[in-house]
Structure formats: structure tokens, C-alpha cells
């Protein structure tokens, strides 16, 4: 599939040069058409010196930008010509298959709801991302879209996570855990204790019970469901620990000549470890539950991170993630008390 990926060229902490470099590299790697959205003069300047061979590039003018400190809900309405809103509009108009932004994440979420709307039946969208683990990767959601969800929202997070892992990673019947402060069903705050029996009653979800923070790192389950506040804290804590480990290792190696010599032998292993812990290798987090493939990247994303985000966007479009979520949720009609439980197979 040749995908068309709209990239918010004005987002991120490092300006258009880094975003454009990563977008072009990602377009080449995935044979995707790259639609760079933003101020054309700045995008053209960023393209100078970048090898563009083998990549179809289109510049889409957006005269305004949404700053990182802008109020998300206000900005998306007051700045309809911002790069975020224009890029989302390309999906709505059928000109793009996916959208990537390293800009104001709140504005991306608010804009996606305004421009694209929620998938029918989805109460609240969620942000999901893979976390590196001892056994591979675990999908964690929500990462900040809904900081104070209802129990029924959390059940839908599990459903959407199941669709993502099955379609994108080709893992059949993935295991699902509910993040808590203990494995026992009685552990957790009021929200966790309400969500646990709802998930346990769902015969169509491979729910294994509560999992603890250590289980995320160990890769005990394929999917970990939590509220957006807890998920965001967990994500940023993991990023901090990864940076800490890298810094400690670097300082310990530099402490003596024998260690430096040993490090030369172990360099391939160190590089592999660093790559597994580097958020740039994940690239971006899909916003699940909206009518389109919307990928949110870290504000400090490098060109490598944007290149990998292009892969996330390409795959979300290729496997029709939004359509898969719509089909999945349509099996379970929502009610005021949350999703109805389908008949047990027993």
C-alpha cells in the first residue's frame, strides 16, 4: 500500500528542520507520499540539503501554528489555519491516510475530535504506545487522553488495545491486564475495583486480571489498561529510568581504562540495549477511537523518532485501524452503564 501521510511540519521543540528530515526518511522507507503541512517558506528552507530522491513530497500551506503553551480547546477553534488542524483536515477530505504531529498534544487530541470525530460507539478515545519489556513490547493505554475515565471507558480501552495488537502486531487473542497496586481482584482504587469485574465478565477479552507496575517492564501481558493520568506518569517514569540507566552506564565505563577497553568489546550489546530503551525507536503513539490514523509524537522528537512515527502512521492506515475499532465496538452496543456483556461461550 502506498500511503499518504500528512506531517505537521511546524510541531516539536526543534523546528521544521528535524521534522522534515524525519518525514522524508520515513516516506522513503515506507514508499509513502509525504504531505508537509505548515509555512511553505520554512518547509522549503528545511528541505534544502535533504536527499529527496525516491520520495513524493507535497507542501500544504498552513498560515498559523499552535504553540506548546496554547490552551488546546481554545487554540483549535481560534486557529483553523494552524498546521495541526490543516493536517487533520487532509484526512477528513480524503487527501491523507494518516497524520503525524510532535506539536501540542492536547491540541492534536482536541483537533482530532473536532475535525474527525469519534468512531461510532466509542465514548472516549485513548492514546496507546508500546513499552519496551524483557520479552519484547507491551501496549500501554491510556497515556493521557482521559485522565479521569469512567469504568465503561476503560473497558473500551481494552477493546481498542485488542484491535491494535491483533491488527498491527498480528498477535491473536492478546492477554490483557489491568494496572493496579496488587494482583488480587480486591486491590486498587475505586475505579480499578469497578473495572475489574467488567473486564472479567467479558468472554471476548483475554483478561488475566490485575497486573503491577513491575509486570509492565517484564512483559507479563500483551496489553496493560489504565487511566490516562496513571498511564502518562508510568510512561514518563519509564523514559526517565531509561535515560538514567544510559547515563549511569556511560559514567561507569568512563571511570577507568579497563572498563573502557571492555566497553569496546561490548559495544554492539550496549548499542542494542540503548536502541531498545530509546523512545525514538517507538516513534509515536496512535490516538485510538477517532475516525482516522492520528499519531502523536514526543515534543522533543528527533528525526529518527519522526521517521519511526511515519511507520506507525503507515501501518495504522494500511491495516485500517479505525475501521477495525468500529467493527469491534459494533459487536457490543454501549449503554448508560457501559458496554453490554455478550453471552458467555460456556
pTM for the whole structure: 0.86
In the chain, what is the straight-line distance between the N-terminal and C-terminal CA atoms, in Å? Answer: 41
Nearest residue to 23 via CA among 319, 305, 334: 305
pLDDT at 275: 66
pLDDT at 318: 92
Q: How many angstroms separate the Cα of 151 from the Cα of each of 179, 192, 196, 216, 322?
A: 13, 8, 9, 21, 22
Cα distance between residue 314 and residue 3, in whole Å: 6
Cα distance between residue 89 and residue 101, in whole Å: 13
Cα distance between residue 154 and residue 172, in whole Å: 21
Q: Look at 243 and 291; give whichever has higher pLDDT.
A: 291
Q: Look at 123 and 217; give whichever has higher pLDDT.
A: 123
Residue 119 has pLDDT above 80, yes or no: yes
Mean pLDDT along residues 129-133:
84
Residue 71 has pLDDT above 80, yes or no: yes
> Among 51-60, 141-150, 151-160, 276-285, which is the least confidently predicted range?
276-285
The x, y and z cell numbers of residue 118, run together, are 469519534
The pLDDT > 90 percentage for the chain reads 68
Residue 333 has pLDDT above 70, yes or no: no
Q: What is the chain's mean pLDDT, rounded? A: 89
Residue 308 has pLDDT above 50, yes or no: yes
pLDDT at 20: 96
Can you say whether residue 54 is alpha, beta or left, with left for phi > 0 and alpha for psi between -120 and 50 degrees? Answer: left
pLDDT at 255: 80
Q: Look at 327 and 344; give whichever has higher pLDDT.
A: 327
> Among 7-11, 233-237, 288-292, 293-297, which is the least confidently predicted range?
233-237
> Among 210-219, 238-247, 316-325, which is the least confidently predicted range?
238-247
Residue 200 has pLDDT above 70, yes or no: yes
pLDDT at 339: 44
Q: What is the dihedral of CA 288, 307, 64, 35, to 10 degrees?
A: -90
Mean pLDDT along residues 132-144:
86
**3-class secondary structure for the chain?**
CCCEEEEECCCCCCCHHHHHHHHHHHHHHHCCEEEEEECHHHHHHHHCCCCCCCCCEEEEECCECCCCCCCHHHHHHHCCCEHHHHHHHHHHCCCCCEEEECCCHHHHHHHHHHHCCECCCCCCCEEEEEEEECCEEEEEECCCCCCCCCHHHHHHHHHHHHHHHHHHCCCCCCEEEEECCCCCCCCCCHHHHHHHHHHHCCCCCEEEEEECHHHHHHCCCCEEECCHHHHHHHHHHHHHHHHHHHHHHHHHHCCCHHHHHHHHHHHHHHHHHHHHHCHHHCCCEEEECECCEEEECCCCCCHHHHHHHHHHHHHHHHCCHHHHHHHHHHCCCCCCCCCCCCCCCC
> Among 227-231, 252-256, 282-286, which is the least confidently predicted range?
252-256
Residue 152 has pLDDT above 50, yes or no: yes
pLDDT at 343: 42
Residue 25 has pLDDT above 90, yes or no: yes
Q: What is the CATH number of domain 1-122+289-335?
A: 3.40.718.10
Contact assessment for residue 222 and residue 141, using Cβ atoms and an 8 Å cutoff: no
Per-residue pLDDT band for 278 (boundaries 50, 70, 90) equals: low
Residue 125 has pLDDT above 60, yes or no: yes
Every domain of the chain and the residues it spans:
1-122+289-335, 131-280
Q: What is the CATH number of domain 131-280?
A: 3.40.718.10
Cα distance between residue 85 and residue 65, in whole Å: 9
Per-residue pLDDT band for 282 (boundaries 50, 70, 90) equals: confident
pLDDT at 316: 93
What size, in residues, is the chain? 346
CA neighbours closer than 13 Å in the CB half-sphere of residue 9: 30
Contact assessment for residue 121 and residue 128, using Cβ atoms and an 8 Å cutoff: no
pLDDT tens for residues 245-257? 778 877 888 888 8
Cα distance between residue 77 and residue 203, in whole Å: 42
Same fold, 1-122+289-335 and 131-280: yes
Amino acid at each position: 500500500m502506498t500511503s499518504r501521510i500528512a506531517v505537521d511540519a511546524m510541531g516539536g521543540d526543534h523546528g521544521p528542520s528535524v521534522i522534515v528530515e524525519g518525514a522524508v526518511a520515513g516516506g522513503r522507507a515506507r514508499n509513502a507520499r509525504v504531505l508537509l503541512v505548515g509555512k511553505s517558506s520554512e518547509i522549503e528552507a528545511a528541505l534544502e540539503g535533504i536527499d529527496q530522491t525516491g520520495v513524493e513530497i507535497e507542501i500544504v500551506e498552513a498560515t498559523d501554528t499552535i504553540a506548546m503553551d496554547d490552551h488546546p480547546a481554545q487554540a483549535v477553534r481560534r486557529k483553523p489555519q494552524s498546521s495541526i488542524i490543516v493536517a487533520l483536515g487532509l484526512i477528513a477530505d480524503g487527501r491523507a491516510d494518516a497524520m503525524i504531529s510532535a506539536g501540542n498534544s492536547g491540541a492534536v487530541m482536541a483537533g482530532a475530535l473536532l475535525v474527525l470525530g469519534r468512531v461510532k460507539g466509542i465514548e472516549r478515545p485513548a492514546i496507546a504506545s508500546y513499552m519496551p519489556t524483557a520479552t519484547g513490547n507491551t501496549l500501554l493505554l491510556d497515556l493521557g487522553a482521559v485522565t479521569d475515565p469512567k469504568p465503561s471507558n476503560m473497558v473500551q480501552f481494552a477493546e481498542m488495545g485488542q484491535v491494535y495488537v491483533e491488527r498491527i502486531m498480528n498477535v491473536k487473542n492478546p492477554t490483557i491486564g489491568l494496572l493496579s497496586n496488587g494482583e488480587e481482584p480486591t486491590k486498587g482504587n475505586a475505579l480499578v475495583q469497578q473495572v475489574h469485574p467488567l473486564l472479567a465478565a467479558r468472554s471476548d477479552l483475554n483478561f488475566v486480571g490485575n497486573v503491577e507496575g513491575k509486570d509492565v517492564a517484564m512483559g507479563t501481558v500483551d496489553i496493560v489498561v489504565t487511566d490516562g493520568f496513571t498511564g502518562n506518569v508510568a510512561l514518563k517514569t519509564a523514559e526517565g529510568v531509561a535515560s538514567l540507566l544510559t547515563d549511569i552506564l556511560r559514567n561507569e565505563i568512563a571511570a577507568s581504562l579497563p572498563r573502557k577497553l571492555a566497553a569496546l568489546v561490548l559495544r554492539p550489546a550496549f548499542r542494542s540495549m540503548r536502541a531498545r530503551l530509546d523512545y525514538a525507536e517507538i516513534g509515536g503513539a496512535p490516538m485510538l477511537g477517532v475516525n482516522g490514523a492520528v499519531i502523536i509524537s514526543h515534543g522533543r522528537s528527533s528525526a529518527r523518532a519522526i521517521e519511526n512515527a511515519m511507520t506507525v502512521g503507515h501501518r495504522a492506515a494500511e491495516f485500517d485501524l479505525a475501521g477495525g475499532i468500529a467493527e469491534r465496538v459494533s459487536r457490543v452496543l454501549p449503554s448508560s452503564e457501559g458496554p453490554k456483556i455478550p453471552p458467555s461461550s460456556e
